[in-house]
Amino acid sequence: VDVDDVRALRDQFVDFMLGYKFAIDEVTTKINILREDFNNTHAYNPIEHVGSRLKSPESVLEKVRRKNYAMNLAAIRENVLDIAGVRVVCSFISDIATIRDLLVSQADITVLEERDYITHRKPNGYQSLHLIVSIPVFRAGHTQRVPVEIQIRTIAMDFWASLEHKIYYKYRGEVPPNLRSDLAQAAEAATQLDEKMEALHRQVDRAAEPKTAAGDALDLS
Ligand code: 0O2
């Protein structure tokens, strides 16, 4: 093996991954701008927290093997669309659509894929809205469009998903049936909590609305 070839390969890979890191930075900035803007203009903030992760080289390669993709950078770029991941955790179910709409309407964002695991929850109980978008990243020598997976979910959905993730890894994917059914029940409880919180939120919103006497003309000038 030629050492220079190995070095060149490593440099290529570092450069490849850097594009995804920059794309995470771009999307995170977009979300932070929305968050700050909401805080400023609405005295209400639909975003609880924002997280991100760059897929590790090991899990990129694991996915390439599992899905039988070709083992080269061009094929990885084309097929593995979740190397850059950003997670937006919202307070209420209705905030999910608000954030989704605010992101997809941005001129530099193109939606490549959308999976609504809220309307169609996964059989294990997983709920979240997944968007795969592509955004331009302006590099020192060129511009590239980079895919980013954005997961949008409520606090309850996030709580459930993080526990399920731990259990799944603990049992290496072979979750015993009793735990599986407990998890499904917990997912149901999370949905009920989300619905209850949404209803409460609406009630509070209505109570806070300024009361206008019937027949009063609203002067919008
Ligand atoms: P991590 O640790 O977040 O990086 P695949 O990647 O093939 O398994 P696919 O079809 O490409 O799946 O995408 P999918 O299922 O729409 O979304 C994949 C990501 O969504 C996962 O990323 C998880 O973050 C999350 N996710 C999907 N299903 C579940 C689930 O049942 N439980 C939990 N806890 N999370 C889920 P990674 O790369 O698998 O994991």
Whether 173 maps to a domain, the answer reads no
For the domain that residue 25 is a member of, what is the CATH number? 3.30.460.10
71 to each of 11, 13, 17, 77, how far by Cα in Å?
Answer: 17, 13, 15, 11
Q: Which of 66, 87, 165 to mutate to test the pocket of ligand 1 (most atoms within 8 A of CB)?
A: 165
Which residue's CA is the closest to the ligand 1 atom numbered 7?
63
Q: Could you list the active site residues?
A: 149
Tell whether the torsion through CA atoms of 109, 113, 117 and 120 is positive or negative.
positive
Task: Give the residues of the chain that fall short of pLDDT 50.
Answer: 215
Confidence (pLDDT) at 213 = 53
Confidence (pLDDT) at 215 = 47
Domain count, the chain: 1
126 to each of 42, 94, 132, 190, 214, how far by Cα in Å?
Answer: 31, 18, 18, 10, 46
Question: Cα of 216 to ligand 1 centre, how many Å?
Answer: 53
Which residue's CA is the closest to the ligand 1 atom numbered 33?
161
Q: Which of 65, 67, 82 to mutate to test the pocket of ligand 1 (most atoms within 8 A of CB)?
A: 82
Whether 9 maps to a domain, the answer reads yes
Whether 50 maps to a domain, the answer reads yes
Whether 186 maps to a domain, the answer reads no
Range of the domain at 120: 3-154
Confidence (pLDDT) at 72 = 92
Whether 120 maps to a domain, the answer reads yes
Whether 189 maps to a domain, the answer reads no
Which pTM does this prediction carry? 0.91
Confidence (pLDDT) at 114 = 98
Confidence (pLDDT) at 204 = 87
Which residue's CA is the closest to the ligand 1 atom numbered 21?
82
Whether 144 maps to a domain, the answer reads yes
- Pocket-forming residues, ligand 1, beta carbon under 6 Å: 55, 63, 82, 115, 122, 124, 126, 130, 161, 164-165
Whether 218 maps to a domain, the answer reads no
